[in-house]
Structure 1
């Protein structure tokens, strides 16, 4: 069995890498165990609770919902309240009605989206939600937009427009997703006194079901038939309700608060000066390495005892390294980095092939890759992750190490049947580890970054969204 070690990327995120206890000898056919890389979310203890938390704001909103009755589904209204205090990014949900879905994911996503919209730090606040509704409420994510509206009101102090109600699933990027039971919710919204009902895009036309009774002699047969309803026309005519489709949280806030998002300049995303400097440092180091590997390998071939045919063949392989280098020099910037890594790998592969044809021992190449794998894991674990830029560098290094470990084992498995391919895998693995070491040098360290909270939030949202989408699709047939 391979020995496992934890490659910690930062507080809250790590890779588990299994490295063989012994390196394979390239001259002996062997099957090294496959390497695994698993992203592990590491639980962390919450920060210490302060003695007193200042209340930032409080708000409530009525959210239409669907409840399950003995005869099917019916619209109802739930009361969603939120209390915001100073804190550390916790979200608490208390429900005073039975629910088929967990509101936690929707509430957390709503709080995060609004904090991003207002340029506030989510980790500086705690959010306490209370959901009160009758009977058995179907669905939780469908209240996500309403929760976001309540959070916005609590954080800004602006009152909610009570003549407007909304249904929709809130996504982490602020877009509004589809929900079920829009027809029943529209009826509940109108009954509660709403004049405007906001629905997700494409859901102003819905399918509902009506019961048809057919009499045959003394018997009655009941069947249900789907009926397509233009909710905009139906609600205006029968309910006195205006139905409006909204695609984003900004559009919804416009109806509740008259919100106007600030104009945003559209252009090419810019890297920070620190990121540009780090990328340039890696590119420059790889460029120097690629040039040196190409020149030294060409000189090695010309000085070797290889016959003319073998030398010509290997020089043709070496031309790939030259091509990658030329393309990298033309591309520049971050686009050049993978090309330079491939150039280094191609040059090393040619040198390994030359040693193979000359019947030289190749153990040192395999031992070097295995040693580097362990070294990269140790350096990544020892480095302090501070900030998202460091996190990017460490994830890049960890990903390259994982890919290198897989190539290392593929090389071992392929040795007996295809030595050239085995050496190529070994060369690419070596180049990947070279690049990984360069990325690790860019990690500056600093304060500990807790990736657990963000990862857990999106995982919770994904789980809740999936289960709710499944229930919506099941009802739609």
Structure 2
């Protein structure tokens, strides 16, 4: 192996050179919901090294067990999308600030985009973040915490926030209490929950300057991330 000086190239680093293959490092922002219920922005880093197609995950903080399943799906989709025919190991590292738990598969779409960018030697834009699971056919699945994640993206200065198709309209339930007199100065308190809908595209644009975009597939999301 021939070691070369570390060189910054766009959003990634070429660290070492092994024959005709360099170790390449890429990074993409991810958005999560912390244990306190707030949205937080973190980073997901991928390092490609010579190997045997192992998928390794280094996490800080602790992650749920289905992260491994999600990452394996993302790598499989990225390989297919990139016509991958090499022998490399994929080393992923998560950093999500004060979020003590990375929720399930919600970074699946971001993981897929990151892997495609690394395999295709592409640069990742720095003004966009995405949330969504990844399915084996490349479609993007629904996640929770959309409103909290959108606020975190806006607070961190991102221009675009990509969400799964159908999730830019958020339904929540507003508590309403009515009083029903029953005589003799007594009354019954009736509690019910009324469904309300938020148009996140409108709210995010008008109040935060954030563009919320719905996407159904990785192919729809890629142009927002890859130059």
TM bracket (short chain): 0.7 to 0.9
Equivalences for residues 177-256 of structure 1 within 5 A:
177-208=141-172, 227-256=196-225
Contact 1:57 1:155 in 2 (8 A): no
Q: Secondary structure at the match of 2:26?
A: strand
Cα deviation digits, residues 205-259 of structure 1 (max 9, x gap): 1124667899xxxxxxx9986532111111111111111111111111111114x
Equivalences for residues 385-464 of structure 1 within 5 A:
none
Question: Within the alignment, does 1:57 sit opposite 2:24 as a pair?
Answer: yes
Question: Following TM superposition, by how much is the alpha carbon of 1:102 offset from its aligned partner in structure 2, in angstroms?
Answer: 2.9
Identify the residue that residue 442 of structure 1 maps to in structure 2: none
Q: Which runs of 4+ in 1 moved over 6 A?
A: 210-214, 222-225
Give 5+ residue unaligned stretches, structure 1. 1-50, 215-221, 259-477
Identify the residue that residue 309 of structure 1 maps to in structure 2: none
Contact 1:56 1:154 in 2 (8 A): no
Contact 1:55 1:83 in 2 (8 A): no
Contact 2:109 2:133 in 1 (8 A): yes
Q: Secondary structure at the match of 1:157?
A: coil
Q: Secondary structure at the match of 2:153?
A: helix
Q: Which structure is higher in strand share? A: 2
The 3 A distance-change label for structure 1 pair 209 and 139 is farther
The 3 A distance-change label for structure 1 pair 236 and 156 is same
Cα deviation digits, residues 303-352 of structure 1 (max 9, x gap): xxxxxxxxxxxxxxxxxxxxxxxxxxxxxxxxxxxxxxxxxxxxxxxxxx
Q: Secondary structure at the match of 1:136?
A: coil
Q: Secondary structure at the match of 1:109?
A: helix
Q: State the distance in 1 between where 2:114 and 2:99 align.
A: 23
Q: State the distance in 2 between where 1:140 and 1:54 align.
A: 33
Contact 1:207 1:227 in 2 (8 A): yes
Contact 2:159 2:210 in 1 (8 A): yes
Question: If the length of structure 1 is used for normalisation, what is the TM-score?
Answer: 0.38
Q: Secondary structure at the match of 2:30?
A: strand
Identify the residue that residue 137 of structure 1 maps to in structure 2: 101
Q: Please, which moves more after superposition, 140-149 or 222-231?
A: 222-231
The 3 A distance-change label for structure 1 pair 213 and 188 is farther
Question: Within the alignment, does 1:93 sit opposite 2:44 as a pair?
Answer: no
Contact 2:32 2:99 in 1 (8 A): no
Q: State the distance in 2 between where 1:57 and 1:243 align.
A: 31
Q: Secondary structure at the match of 1:180?
A: coil
Question: Following TM superposition, by how much is the alpha carbon of 1:124 offset from its aligned partner in structure 2, in angstroms?
Answer: 1.8
Question: If the length of structure 2 is used for normalisation, what is the TM-score?
Answer: 0.78
Residue among 103, 123, 140 paired with 1:159: 123
Give 5+ residue unaligned stretches, structure 2. 1-17, 179-190
Equivalences for residues 16-31 of structure 1 within 5 A:
none
Contact 1:53 1:85 in 2 (8 A): no
Residue among 126, 138, 141 paired with 1:174: 138
Q: State the distance in 1 between where 2:130 and 2:171 align.
A: 19
Give the superposed CA RMSD.
2.7
Equivalenced residues, count: 197
